[in-house]
Structure 1
Amino acid sequence: MRTRISRHLDSVFAEFAVPAEAREAVEGREAAAPARAAGPVLPPEFNWRDYTIMLLRVASEIEHSLMVQYLFAAYSLGGPQVPEGLRKDVRRWQEVILGIAKEEMGHLLTVQNLLVALGGPVNLGREDYPWGTDFYPFPFTLRRLTRQSLARYICAESPLDWTGEEAERIRRLAAGEQDVPVNRVGALYERLSAILRDRSRIPETAFQASTLPYQASWDEWGRGYRRGQRARDSGNVPEAQSPDLLILRVYSRDSALSALRNIGEQGEALPAPDSPDGEDPRNPSHFNRFLRIFRELERVDPADQDAVARPVAENPRTDHRLNEETVALTSALTAGPGQPRPEVNPITHREAADWGHLFNLRYRMLLTDLAHAFRLVGPLDNGATLTARGSLIHRAFGEMYNLRAISGALLRLPLDAENASGLLAGPPFEMPYALDLPAGDRNRWLLQRDLTEASVPLVETLLSTTPTAEGKAYLRALREADAQARESIDRILAEG
């Protein structure tokens, strides 16, 4: 974790650390309570509002990183190597994990609303790999779905009172050979709730209801969903495991605490005692759904467990100029003390590298659209015509589709030019050099135009090298969509 953040979080670690012996003795939350400190401790250099904003920025980065890692794992599932008898289950697992990633997107937007309501800046950043931990669940790593990666996700989303033989076994698997425990995401939300409940720390006047027009709303971002019902991407997923998008606006203490509570419950709710298989329609949490997949995968013949996901390279990266010495030096400088150093795999296959660059650009465009939308107010359309804000949200959904489509292309291509490794390329999810939006509305739209123009040479190069008719059809459609976006941006600039 970056030093500028981690130096302020020692009190957080101390407050929520629960010794293993205490955890083993726990039967419920009441027994665990004495292991905690009396309450949140304010570090030097802060007042309570500023410290809360910093913790929300950490929460935002965690939600972003989990979303990306879940997407990568979901995309890795499937392929021709999956045994015929497992293909239906693998498709269902993929849909469930994609649904969880969608819910993480809702959490990410809700955390932005919390930030905006307290007068803080929107934060859509996260660290690139390797990423050291402390408060963060585990080192940021893009990896295919395996029993160990599932174990990490389960532990990250686990409740405090998750105990028993299975819990300890999964924790040991998640810790890996380096024996690095996985931290609970819920600890951060517990701390935030404790601070926000205390009126002496955060007065009611800190919550700015006037920011509501700038916040993300369910009506704008809940596309494809019906309020009060869980979305179902296909009939392959039981309703209890299908995504339930939460995008909650914040205007008061009660609404802030409700948002934190809902995020926490969706992540870590325990299954009911009468639900031994982990599928509980009353508590279809991330923890529940990951645990069910883990149990099902454990029942698969060990010889077939590795075949449920494609042989995708861990942490694929577009910078083909990296050599082994550079990778080792980068890992040594950026991994935290005692932390494992995730391997970085450069994409050297020419076509795969071009798709990787296009993926990174569209990822940047999605993040830019999200950040820009928080700067504008007003309806999504004026009758049949999208407003500026509406066009940003519309394009953000388009970029979500683009990321999945480009990932599909990358997962069909080798990592290296000669396919010597036998590994496939995967979506690199590399962060842009900056996510800060420029000052002034005109300059923000100029940035939007810059990004659509940057896509042109990448698309043209791929059109000349991609052999598949499917790939060419997608690229032509993307080229047309970008041309329409530039026309829309040019109109906005002309009107301004």
Structure 2
Amino acid sequence: MKFPDIQWTAMEAPGNGLQPAAACGIPRVANAASPREDAIGLLRLAAEIEHALMVQYLYAAQSLRDSDARTLSTVAVQEMGHLLTVQNLLLAIAGVNEHGYPAVIHFGRDTLRRASNLNPLPLTLESLSRTTLGNFVAIESPGKFDNPAVAERVETLRLKAGRLGYTTRPVHNLYAAIHWLFLADDEVQPVLADIGTCTPGWHLAEEDFVDPATIDRFAATQTEWHSIPGFIAMPVRNRAEALAAIDAITLQGEGVTGSEDSHFARYIRLLDRLEAGAVRVRPLARTPHLPGTVIPEDPSARPVTHPITVLWAELFNLQYECLLVLIAWSYSKPQGSPTRAKAIDFAVDLMNQVIQPLANDLSSRALDEQGPQKAGPPYGLRDETMPSDAASFAARFATLDRSERETLSRIKETLMQGDDPVARLRIDSIENYCQQRQQLLQEN
């Protein structure tokens, strides 16, 4: 199944003092021949945005401690749920390919989002600061404010970001455009009120939705992801469920009046604490990166050059890429199959037992040999495309396995030259995990 190349345009929407978000426009896919093509394009962009926000929040969390770190990491986990729900929305209208796999498994991050003139925030990995958190507040802000003081504060943050070279656009507008496409007609829903004029009559038809049996075969669910509190993974079998899923993502991000659990509300409270001097922050390198991964869009990105840190950063990137492929692989397996359940369990273990400890380790390792600057986890990707059949998944895992073995071998050589029992235990744990994963892959 071939989908059109995507170029991004914006339908400008009128704004008012209580709605700075509207001035950023309503996104559309240029040259989309149908609402279905438009929806698939915007959902692919949404997947990349959710992915990019997730790693930016996780990186900022590395610079914090205790409850403040948990605030950011909790939001990041919820962004992962949004990413999975977007896959369900794609499945509902794109269906399966000739190999019987979901036709669009999109866990990318830097292709469409980076090229879009509606990218909410360029991918910049930074320690938490008033600027960083102000950017997070601006992009998670609602489409409409009931409180003029809050609207003014958000607009001030957005203008300040612009003066510092950041361009921030609220995610709300993208989901408002997606919501419009999934409506049956032009009746304006509350979530779209005051957002501006969308293309009349431009909606998905009933025949654009895939057979529910196919959706039930592959759709991600919250239960299989261990029922993580606040984790949204909503199957989408029809128009009503699609609209409910889109609204759930939007409301968890921007919230409603009086909401205490939305991303926007959490970040406003954290910003209050930061401005009051109640948040301790440790400085990490800005957007650390390694050769061989996608060149950062952040012009102030810092290369990781310390010879030991480079090896651990390479290992981190491999585990991060492996996580994405593993989740995609689980999504390609039918619901209820032992393989799918085991793959999800492995993914959860990889996040908690491998990636998070490596992120902690890199946050205390030197960026280079010149000074005290700490590195931080680079979240670098060599290849963000996802396989589309059994053979390509097998080949991708084989490539990752070879690279893992080579990097682990090089790290073990450095450990032979010194005494680092914690690092030795970490390597033993990672090797054990990799062996178990390989056994699972060989069995399936």
- With normalisation by structure 2, the TM-score equals 0.84
2:274 aligns with 297
2:328 alignment partner AA: A
The 3 A distance-change label for structure 1 pair 370 and 477 is same
The 3 A distance-change label for structure 1 pair 413 and 128 is farther
- Structure 1 alignment gaps of length 5 or more: 78-89, 226-230, 232-243, 273-281, 336-340, 381-386
Show the 5 A alignment for 1:119-268. Answer: 119=94, 121-127=104-110, 131=114, 134-162=117-145, 163-164=148-149, 165-178=152-165, 180-199=166-185, 201-208=203-210, 209=212, 210-223=214-227, 225=228, 231=229, 244-268=230-254
Show the 5 A alignment for 1:277-316. Answer: 282-300=259-277, 308-316=280-288
* Equivalent residues, number: 406
1:424 aligns with 374
> What is the CA-CA distance between 1:453 and the residue it aligns to?
3.5
> What is the CA-CA distance between 1:443 and the residue it aligns to?
4.3
Give the conservation status (yes or no) of the 8 Å contact 2:45–2:112.
no
Give the conservation status (yes or no) of the 8 Å contact 1:313–1:424.
yes
Q: 2:412 aligns with which of 463, 471, 482?
A: 463
Q: 1:106 aligns with which of 81, 95, 99?
A: 81
Give the conservation status (yes or no) of the 8 Å contact 2:27–2:118.
no
1:423 alignment partner AA: Q
1:397 aligns with 348
Following the alignment from structure 2 to structure 1, what is the Cα–Cα distance between the partners of residues 215 and 402?
33
Following the alignment from structure 1 to structure 2, what is the Cα–Cα distance between the partners of residues 112 and 207?
14
Q: Please state whether the residue corresponding to 1:8 is helix, strand or coil.
A: strand
Following the alignment from structure 2 to structure 1, what is the Cα–Cα distance between the partners of residues 114 and 28?
26
1:10 alignment partner AA: A
> What is the CA-CA distance between 1:490 and the residue it aligns to?
2.4
Q: Give CA-to-partner distance per residue, 1:433-472, whole Å, 9 cap, x none.
A: 2423154x24423432442332122223223324432221
1:366 aligns with 323
2:83 alignment partner AA: L
Q: 1:433 aligns with which of 348, 362, 383?
A: 383
Give the conservation status (yes or no) of the 8 Å contact 1:186–1:264.
yes
Following the alignment from structure 2 to structure 1, what is the Cα–Cα distance between the partners of residues 247 and 88?
15
Cα-Cα RMSD:
2.8
Q: Give CA-to-partner distance per residue, 1:181-221, whole Å, 9 cap, x none.
A: 41010001111111211356211222221222111111111
Following the alignment from structure 1 to structure 2, what is the Cα–Cα distance between the partners of residues 40 and 353?
39
Following the alignment from structure 2 to structure 1, what is the Cα–Cα distance between the partners of residues 115 and 31?
23
Give the conservation status (yes or no) of the 8 Å contact 1:62–1:136.
yes
Identify the structure with bigger relative contact order (alpha carbons < 8 Å, sequence gap 6+). Answer: 2
Q: Please state whether the residue corresponding to 2:8 is helix, strand or coil.
A: coil
1:415 aligns with 367
> What is the CA-CA distance between 1:396 and the residue it aligns to?
1.2
2:169 alignment partner AA: N
Give the conservation status (yes or no) of the 8 Å contact 1:156–1:183.
yes
Give the conservation status (yes or no) of the 8 Å contact 1:270–1:288.
no
Following the alignment from structure 2 to structure 1, what is the Cα–Cα distance between the partners of residues 257 and 133?
17
Following the alignment from structure 1 to structure 2, what is the Cα–Cα distance between the partners of residues 264 and 99?
16
Give the conservation status (yes or no) of the 8 Å contact 2:49–2:113.
no
- Structure 2 alignment gaps of length 5 or more: 95-102, 186-200
1:471 alignment partner AA: A
1:391 alignment partner AA: K
Give the conservation status (yes or no) of the 8 Å contact 1:449–1:489.
no
Q: Give CA-to-partner distance per residue, 1:213-258, whole Å, 9 cap, x none.
A: 11111111135x3xxxxx4xxxxxxxxxxxx111111000000000
1:248 alignment partner AA: M
> What is the CA-CA distance between 1:374 and the residue it aligns to?
1.9
Following the alignment from structure 1 to structure 2, what is the Cα–Cα distance between the partners of residues 390 and 138?
34
Following the alignment from structure 2 to structure 1, what is the Cα–Cα distance between the partners of residues 38 and 127?
36
Stretches of 4+ aligned residues off by more than 4 angstroms? 39-43, 128-133
The 3 A distance-change label for structure 1 pair 425 and 287 is same
Following the alignment from structure 2 to structure 1, what is the Cα–Cα distance between the partners of residues 271 and 167?
18
